[in-house]
């Protein structure tokens, strides 16, 4: 039986929006009764348009926010950050890579210090060992020893995202949440970073939750796909099933609005444009 690393059971997240002098405010239902499972070594892609609730769900999974109701389980253990707080062990198990790598890196820190910081904060590892591990991880993501003492502004966008991925892996996490990790990159660089993520997943047996609105990227990297619409999971299944037989009207609309990248589709679009 496959090992389940992450599970959500009927997750709900509500936000109370304050009212004015003559109103009592209202409740915004950002996530509505969402359930899912992610097995070890697999990738769940969460897709949908802006405002659909996928980033809110990512904040629950990474234990930044607590759900209003429902259960979040990591390695079969229920997580309750309101009641129990966030232990160092749980912090090590789940890491996140954000969309904007430059915004997530301290511009005043050298890359070696950026990579060593998670170990400094969360472990008792001695300085020499932290440095060695940081150097090893830098090499794992395709950068060299000469980059260790440079600052973030000295790197390209793709290189900075590699550094962000390396930092997220420093604590040997069980789960990596990737929040639009390639959307700010050029297409050729996107392919390089996606290939790197696939290689790292195979090497470290990582589990991914991949947040995206780009269906071509999702089709490449996902094992399972969950489509969100106004806070609800309207479609959930294997990549093959969802892409070959979408069942919800919103999923069909989402796929129809996505340009296909194969040669025949491109030729057809050019012919329609010429006509």
Each residue's pLDDT tens digit, 82-123: 988 888 888 899 999 988 877 778 899 999 999 999 999 988
pLDDT at 262: 43
**Angle subtended by helix axes 127-140 and 111-122, to nearest 10:** 120
pLDDT at 259: 56
Q: Is the pLDDT assigned to residue 194 strictly greater than 50?
A: yes
How does the average pLDDT of the chain come out, rounded? 90
- Rounded Cα distance, 185 and 176, in Å: 19
Q: How many domains does the chain have?
A: 1
Instruction: Name the one residue in this structure whose structure tokens are 């796909």.
Output: 225
Q: Is the pLDDT assigned to residue 263 strictly greater than 80?
A: no
Task: Read off φ and ψ for residue 13, nearest 5 degrees.
Answer: -135, 115
Q: Record the tokens describing residue 228, joined without a space.
A: 């969100």
Helix H or strand E encompassing 35: strand 26-39
Instruction: Name the one residue in this structure whose structure tokens are 């409740």.
Output: 27
- Rounded Cα distance, 76 and 214, in Å: 31
Whether the Cβ atoms of residue 116 and residue 154 lie closer than 8 Å to each other: no
Angle at 95 between CA 31 and CA 221, to 5 degrees: 75
**241-244 contacts at long range (C-beta below 8 A, 24 or more positions apart):** 243/219
Q: What is the mean pLDDT of residues 236-246?
A: 95
Q: Predicted confidence band at 264 (pLDDT cuts at 50, 70, 90)? A: low
3-state secondary structure of 168: helix
pLDDT digits (tens, 9 = 90+) for 21-64: 666 778 889 999 999 999 999 999 999 988 899 999 999 999 99
Q: Record the tokens describing residue 30, joined without a space.
A: 């950002």
Q: How far is CA 74 from the centre of its chain?
A: 16
Owning domain of residue 59: 4-274
- Rounded Cα distance, 182 and 131, in Å: 28
pTM exceeds 0.85, yes or no: yes
Contact partners, residue 44, CB within 8 Å, separation at least 6: 6, 36, 38, 208, 209, 210, 222, 223, 224, 225, 226
């Amino acid at each position: 039986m496959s090992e389940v690393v992450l599970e959500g059971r009927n997750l709900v997240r509500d936000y109370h929006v304050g009212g004015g002098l003559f109103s009592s405010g209202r409740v915004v239902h950002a996530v509505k009764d969402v359930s899912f499972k992610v097995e070890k070594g697999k990738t769940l892609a969460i897709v949908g348009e802006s405002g659909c609730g996928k980033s809110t769900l990512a904040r629950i999974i990474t234990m930044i926010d607590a759900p209003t109701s429902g259960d979040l389980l990591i390695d079969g253990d229920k997580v309750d950050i309101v009641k129990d707080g966030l232990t160092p062990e749980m912090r090590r198990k789940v890491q996140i890579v954000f969309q904007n790598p430059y915004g997530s890196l301290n511009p005043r820190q050298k890359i070696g210090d950026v990579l060593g910081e998670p170990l400094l904060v969360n472990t008792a590892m001695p300085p020499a060992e932290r440095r060695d591990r940081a150097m090893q991880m830098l090499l794992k993501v395709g950068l060299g020893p000469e980059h260790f003492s440079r600052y973030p502004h000295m790197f390209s966008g793709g290189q900075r995202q590699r550094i962000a991925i390396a930092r997220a892996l420093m604590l040997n996490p069980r789960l990596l949440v990737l929040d639009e990790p390639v959307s700010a990159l050029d297409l050729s660089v996107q392919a390089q970073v996606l290939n790197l993520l696939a290689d790292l997943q195979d090497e470290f047996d990582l589990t991914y939750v991949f947040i995206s609105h780009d269906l071509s990227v999702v089709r490449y990297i996902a094992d399972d796909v969950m489509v969100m619409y106004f806070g609800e999971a309207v479609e959930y299944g294997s990549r093959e099933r969802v892409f070959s037989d979408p069942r919800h009207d919103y999923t069909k609309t989402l796929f129809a609005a996505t340009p296909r990248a194969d040669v025949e589709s491109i030729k057809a679009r050019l012919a329609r444009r010429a006509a």
